[in-house]
Amino acid sequence: MPNLFTLVLQITVILAVCRLMGSLFRKFHQPRVVGEMFAGILLGPSLLGWIAPQFSAYLFPPSSLGFLNALSQVGVVIFMFLVGLGIDPRELKQQSHAAVMVSHVSITAPFVLASLLALFLYPRLSDDSVSFTNFALFMGAAMSVTAFPVLARILVERDMMKSALGNVAIASAAVDDVTGWCILAYIVVLIRAAHQTTSIWVTLGGILLFALIMIYGVRFLLRGLERTFQKYGEISENRMAFLLLLALASALCTERLGIHLLFGSFLMGAIMPKEPKFVRYILDRFETVTITLLLPLFFAFTGLHTNVGLLKGPAMWFYCGLIILVAAAGKLGGSMAAARLSGMPWREAAGLGTLMNTRGLMGLVILDIGLDIKIISPALFSMMVVMALVTTFMAVPLLDLICPSGALGPSPQKAGVAEVSFQEIA
Amino acid sequence: MPRTNRNFVFAYTFLVILPLVGLAGILKSGRTLVAPVSIDGVWSLQENTAQLSSLACSKAFAALPGQAIAISQSGRSFVLNFPSDPDVTASGTLDGTTLRASVIPPHAPTSENSCGRELSLQATVGRNADSTWLAGTLSAVNCPTCSAVEFHAQRQAPAAARGGH
């Protein structure tokens, strides 16, 4: 049984520090999520455990971390459902040449550069229980992801959602996230299959069957839910509970199939009807508790695993600097080059590259999976968390520099549902 | 084919298809790389107790908590701690199959004859198809009269869900 006093004390301290840091970062025009991510690191061994080890051991005794982790994972499961909900498949279908080019290059460029970097890092930061292929693919997936919610929030705040740049950024980020998660699912299946007696073909067949049931069966049920909303303007508590149960059941199925809980909840969100008012209604019901209560626990738990103290000596800091440089060159540089070659002016192309370079919470979620399946070592995890923080942190100041207010005009195109999504998280 | 489409195809080939071919080459060439031997996990420790009790600095050795050590590895460096006393941590390095670390037990006496508190751990990793073990010595750093204590450690359970081959 968890020690309830310890658990409630942990939650209280985490929420207080996250809100404080979130508000502080907002004052510097940073997305709140950057402050909350930073708060998680402050509560971990990198700061609190370093300056006050006794208090840190009292607040986060190792025996209590399992309960904190369980709560935080529930939060991430629901968050991934909300991320899936914010992605509109129509945006993926109706892409312009520029969006197709940017989205594909913003995956391949960081992927190739990350794999090149893996050639250097694998003998230094991994061990022989991890294969090079899995290591390199994971590094590629972690570096090619874009924080869709953070990106959407930055666009809304800067009134860029309806600009050509905003449309390309949203469509590209959606493609990146879907592709990144598919690649990650492939890696997780391969790794877990190596430790299971079930044949990988049975696992793959199960995943395919599950996806078909979700897309052609469950999606049909969900349309009924949307029709009810359109008729009455609301959804009963029973139906909302049913929706939550479906998301959790989907998460359980993917976990059972050997992928990960998060893929199921993401898929469930992705197949939901995308009528903006319906999406906003669902988000309003789930966002508050998830974003104000459960996600800060995830940030704190990630922070407890992040130990900057592991980066001892100039060599480790050099690796960390190299990771940040390669991540930015691949994502920012790749997206910018692709946008420029597609005919976008330099200023807009650079702005797009900067937006695509934000990794935020999505980066942390992927890294957490990597640490969980032990494909990355604790020191590499810490470096990658620093990279995710730096690349997210640099987005707003760089955008201020590249695209000052009013520098970009709106396009007549209508923005997608992301405009109404994720009001609080970013 | 219109000029715009031709440019798009050219750019797409140059920026997407060629890099993907390059990626396949990188993945193939990376297979020949050798990473440090895996020592991550929990190890059950067996010391030579008869040898330990005869040493001048035996109290320093006896202050090591528990009979299990947990190693968290990051490439060639690792952090070592004792599950029975999370306060005790030490860091070390791995050179080939030889690992070295220095441990300061927090509950060790501050001085015992000429004994210092710091212990030095040196071991070699060995493995066969079924198990992985460490064989090495523990020695008191500032005790010229002490001889090293031999120990043997067995990896308890294979690390779960590693990024396997």
Identify the CA nearest to A328 among candidates A355, A349, A304, A294: A355
pLDDT range class, residue A93, cuts 50, 70, 90: low
Q: Percent of chain B, pLDDT > 70?
A: 72
Alpha-carbon distance A60 to nearest alpha carbon in chain B (angstroms): 12
Query: Is the pLDDT assigned to residue B26 strictly greater than 80?
Result: yes
Residue-level pLDDT at A32 = 85
Classify residue A426: in a domain, yes or no: no
A58 close to B (CB below 8 A): no
> What is the average pLDDT across B75-87?
82
Query: Is the pLDDT assigned to residue B70 strictly greater than 50?
Result: yes
Which helix H or strand E contains B119, and what residues bound it? strand B119-127
Query: Is the pLDDT assigned to residue A231 strictly greater than 50?
Result: yes
Token code pair at residue A188:
């997780």
Would you call B73 and A127 a contact, using CB atoms and an 8 Å cutoff?
Answer: yes
Identity of the residue in A124, A136, A192 whose CB atom sits nearest the CB atom of B27: A136
Count interface pairs A-B at CB distance under 8 A: 149
A409 close to B (CB below 8 A): no
Q: State pLDDT tens for residues A344-403.
A: 888 889 999 999 999 888 888 889 889 988 899 999 999 999 999 999 999 989 988 887
Would you call B31 and A133 a contact, using CB atoms and an 8 Å cutoff?
Answer: yes
Query: Is the pLDDT assigned to residue A321 strictly greater than 90?
Result: yes
* B3 and B55 in a common domain: no
Would you call B15 and A127 a contact, using CB atoms and an 8 Å cutoff?
Answer: no
> What is the average pLDDT across B148-162?
71
Classify residue A425: in a domain, yes or no: no
* B72 and B11 in a common domain: no
Give the domain range for residue A197.
Answer: 4-420
Query: Could you give the CA distance from residue A288 to residue A286 in angstroms, rounded to a whole number?
Result: 6
* B129 and B86 in a common domain: yes
> What is the average pLDDT across A246-260?
89
Q: Is B42 helix (H, G, I), strand (E, B) or coil?
A: strand
Give the total number of structural domains in chain A.
1
pLDDT range class, residue A329, cuts 50, 70, 90: very high
* B54 and B99 in a common domain: yes
Cβ neighbours of A132 in B, within 8 Å:
27, 30-31, 33, 35
Q: State pLDDT tens for residues B103-117.
A: 877 665 555 555 666
Alpha-carbon distance A128 to nearest alpha carbon in chain B (angstroms): 5
* B110 and B135 in a common domain: yes
Would you call A112 and B26 a contact, using CB atoms and an 8 Å cutoff?
Answer: yes
> What is the average pLDDT across A34-54?
89
Classify residue A259: in a domain, yes or no: yes
* B65 and B9 in a common domain: no
B34 close to A (CB below 8 A): yes
Classify residue A233: in a domain, yes or no: yes
Would you call B163 and A130 a contact, using CB atoms and an 8 Å cutoff?
Answer: yes
* B72 and B26 in a common domain: no
Identify the CATH number of the domain in which residue B139 sits: 2.40.128
Would you call B75 and A126 a contact, using CB atoms and an 8 Å cutoff?
Answer: yes
Give the total number of structural domains in chain B.
2
Alpha-carbon distance A116 to nearest alpha carbon in chain B (angstroms): 7
Which residues are CB-neighbours of A55 under 8 A, at least 6 positions away? A48
Residues A170-195 as b/e (b if ≥16 CB within 10 A, e otherwise) read bbbbbbbbbbbbebbbbbbbbbbbee
Query: Is the pLDDT assigned to residue A128 strictly greater than 50?
Result: yes
Give the domain range for residue B55.
Answer: 41-155
Classify residue B164: in a domain, yes or no: no
Which residues are CB-neighbours of B89 under 8 A, at least 6 positions away? B79, B80, B81
B77 close to A (CB below 8 A): yes
Query: Could you give the CA distance from residue B82 to residue B139 in angstroms, rounded to a whole number?
Result: 18
Classify residue B163: in a domain, yes or no: no
Classify residue B161: in a domain, yes or no: no
Mean pLDDT of chain B: 79
Residue-level pLDDT at A418 = 42
B21 close to A (CB below 8 A): no
Alpha-carbon distance A225 to nearest alpha carbon in chain B (angstroms): 39
Classify residue A214: in a domain, yes or no: yes
Residue-level pLDDT at B162 = 47
Which of residues B157 and A59 earns the better pLDDT score? Answer: A59
Long-range (24+ apart) CB contacts under 8 A made by B154-158 are B154/B43, B154/B44, B154/B46, B155/B41, B155/B42, B155/B43, B155/B131, B156/B41, B156/B42, B156/B43, B156/B44, B156/B68, B157/B41, B157/B42, B158/B41
Q: Percent of chain A, pLDDT > 90?
A: 39
pTM of the model: 0.84
> What is the average pLDDT across A169-192?
81
Residue-level pLDDT at B106 = 65
Classify residue A144: in a domain, yes or no: yes
Classify residue B165: in a domain, yes or no: no
Would you call B162 and A312 a contact, using CB atoms and an 8 Å cutoff?
Answer: no
Classify residue B17: in a domain, yes or no: yes
* B24 and B73 in a common domain: no
Which of residues B25 and A405 earns the better pLDDT score? Answer: B25
Identify the CATH number of the domain in which residue A40 sits: 1.20.1530.20
